[in-house]
Amino acid sequence: SCPGPARGSVPCLPRIPVLGSLPWLGGGLPPHLLFSQLAHRYGSLFALYLGPYYTLVVNSHQHAREVLLQRGRDFAGRPSMVTTDLLTRGGKDIAFSDYTPLWKLHRRLVHNSLTLFGEGSGRLQDIVLSSVDSLCGELLSSGRRGFDPSPAVTGAVTNVVCTLVFGATYCPGDAELQDVIRYNDGIVQTIARGGLVDIYPWMKVFPNSSLSKLKDCITVRDRLLSRKLEEHKASLSDGDPRDLLDALLKGKTDSGPGQRSPGSEEERITDDHVLMTAAEAFGAGVETTSTTLLWILAYLLHHPEVQERVQKELDEHVGSDRAVCVSDRGRLPYLDCVINEGMRIRPVSPVLIPHTAMTDSSIGGHSVSRGTRVLVNMWSIHHDPRHWDNPDLFNPDRFLDDRGQRVTPSCFLPFGAGPRVCVGESLARLELFLFLSSLLQRMSFTLPDGAPPPNLQGRLGVVLQPLPYKFMVTPRAGWEGGAKFLTSPSWF
């Protein structure tokens, strides 16, 4: 039987002191694959010890819905981790902060500020479309040679986030943009080499060189963002917020001590929170969206028939005389399915972010005590053969019903769900839609002569990324000269 705090009959891996269940984890597989394998042996809900921490692993969609939705608040906590505490000044962000009243206030502020720029206005569309134009220009000028899309895609997505967060648009080679890309890269490489789950306790004994690299990158980040913050404070006016920083600064005063009982530092949203939010919007906005785009492009190289079908849909419903816009989304169901299928087959966050139980609760009738860590393995859920035919096949049609209408199966949760659902979901969906539709309207992607198709196995860092690959860009009819029309962004 399992000597853990939650008894009952959840099967548990053996353990030894200090290392926990590590000796039974063997093989060096990344967590999502390892847990899927263990679920075959131990059942879809099992427990293990990650070092000293008793941890439940959820691999079925019913249990995931309990954890995220039905008892979402019970499981809305976050464990504290050495590296993320450093990254977020001890949890002054959204993603890695524990569930507290202040966090709820902060999350609502961020959500409202994002909505203001998302669905709420046409500004986001303008921002994305202008970045799309320069990405298209960059790709179309690559000529007929093999080309690694990753730097151009990351640059374009970073640009969108810079405009959204602090109102700066950069040219591709801009020094400040390069700084942002460089520090972000450094954080990504050092923060979580094997995902956000501390499976291997020695990862805590962080190599000193990594730790100092992480600290250096955080210093560069903080210097840049503090400067932006001070500039914004100095020029803040009563009018509409210019960007997310403005919205946060305004919202912060609105939700400050004036309206609530005068609070101490611990229960107020401070400048530190605003800074950490901006930093996080960056990190989350760039890594997830660019990685998802790169996965979808990789799958399109494997499935030229899917690419052609998206292009046919675009030709029929948009044509080539104007840019695609948000209001076209309803007319492009197949493209939506391609995006969903990409996020199903390669979820960028395959085990979400670790959750913890805030109170004693239960999963699947098993009691779970307060403080238990819970990992939701979205990878197993997205590859469960009981819910998906041929789960390893890239098949966007699974998101259409017999009448050609879009359907969203309940076991498809790439953004999580409940109190901890991704706050950037609508922003991300809008970006993915505009980027992919514009790219495929204007160009086709093929493998360079003799090159093998992209490796689809992926590598887990802080997100699950495709290994580098190359493609070749061919302009579609009418786009041979690069940009045909330039959107005139309305925020100038």
Site residues (vs ligand PLO, CB under 6 A): 95, 184, 187-188, 191, 280, 283-284, 287-288, 348-349, 353, 462-463
Residue 289 binds which entry of ligand PLO, ligand HEM, none, CB below 5-8 Å type-dependent: ligand HEM
Please state the closest distance from residue 187 (CB atom) to ligand PLO, in A. 4
Q: How far apart are CA 27 and CA 111, in angstroms?
A: 41
Among residues 318 and 428, whose Cβ is nearest to ligand PLO? 428
Nearest to 170 by CA among 184, 182, 158: 158
Residue 463 binds which entry of ligand PLO, ligand HEM, none, CB below 5-8 Å type-dependent: ligand PLO
Residue 298 binds which entry of ligand PLO, ligand HEM, none, CB below 5-8 Å type-dependent: none
Q: How far apart are CA 304 and CA 147, in angstroms?
A: 18
Under the binding rule (CB under 6 A), the answer on residue 280 touching ligand HEM is: yes
Interstrand relation of 45-50 and 459-460 (parallel, antiparallel or unpaired): unpaired
Site string for ligand HEM, 341-370 (x = CB under 6 A): --x----xx--xx-----------------
Q: How many CA atoms lie within 13 A of 225 on its CB side?
A: 26
Among residues 412 and 471, whose Cβ is nearest to ligand HEM? 412
Among residues 125 and 288, whose Cβ is nearest to ligand PLO? 288
DSSP calls for 102-138: HHHHHHHHHHHHHHHHTTT-SHHHHHHHHHHHHHHHH
Residue 187 binds which entry of ligand HEM, ligand PLO, none, CB below 5-8 Å type-dependent: ligand PLO
Q: Which residues contact 24 (CB under 8 A, 6 or more apart)?
A: 13, 14, 15, 48
Q: 45, 94, 105, 197: which one contacts ligand HEM (CB under 6 A)?
A: 94
- Joined together, the tokens standing for residue 159 give 């640009």
Please state the closest distance from residue 105 (CB atom) to ligand HEM, in A. 13
Q: 187, 245, 298, 427: which one contacts ligand HEM (CB under 6 A)?
A: 427
Quick one: how far is CA 300 from the chain centroid?
A: 20
Residue number with the shortest CB distance to ligand PLO? 283
Question: Which residues, 396 to 415, sit near ligand HEM by CB under 6 A?
Answer: 414-415
- Joined together, the tokens standing for residue 419 give 């109190």
Q: How far apart are CA 295 and CA 346, in angstroms?
A: 7
Among residues 76 and 463, whose Cβ is nearest to ligand PLO? 463
Under the binding rule (CB under 6 A), the answer on residue 225 touching ligand HEM is: no
Q: Is 89 exposed, middle or buried (0-12, 13-18, 19+ CB in 10 A)?
A: middle
For residue 292, give the H/E element and its range.
helix 271-302
Q: Which residues are annotated as a binding site for heme?
A: 422
**Which residues in this chain contact ligand HEM in the complex, by CB under 6 A?**
94-95, 107, 280-281, 284-285, 288-289, 292, 343, 348-349, 352-353, 414-416, 420, 422-424, 427-428
